[in-house]
Structure 1
């Protein structure tokens, strides 16, 4: 159930940072891409679009405009689902994902984890 966090931040106040902590506290294998390299918990934040293998879930922390450069990349990873956290809603990407048989989930990763719905 490996998860890729796109829009990862080193700042503890950011929801993407909290999500990484929560994913790791739930023993979910996690990888991350952000603007700056660094480490959150034991997760190394990459700045390049790495061809990660066996991604089950992509959770987004980028606004719709910033997501555009990731469309092809996300599809290429063939995840089972993409979680659109609050503020990341994107009708255009929903359509692309559905055309590629990737589940679209508009939800909050932190809430899903805290309510055992992840």
Structure 2
């Protein structure tokens, strides 16, 4: 599998807005499509053998060292790695630095 990251904040009420900002920050080619959900988004690609490239969800912590059980955080799963995924992560990290709310990335 790819990379797993979490994003925590001192202001959980902003997480929905942060997820939208992260989705808007992504640039990708025509082989990808962005699928919005109520609590996150998925970046799909035109490859039936490996259709998901990236998933970002608001989740409730359970056995996550960096966050108390029950607290909300943003879960990021990069199904692919390499330059494309690294670029998406950098785009999302840069966008998250623009947000007031003490966003902290951590590796899972």
TM-score w.r.t. length of structure 2: 0.29
Q: Which has the higher contact order (CA 8 A, sep 6+)?
A: 2
Computing the radius of gyration from Cα coordinates, the structure with the larger value is 2
Question: Greater share of helix residues, 1 or 2?
Answer: 1
Question: Greater share of strand residues, 1 or 2?
Answer: 2
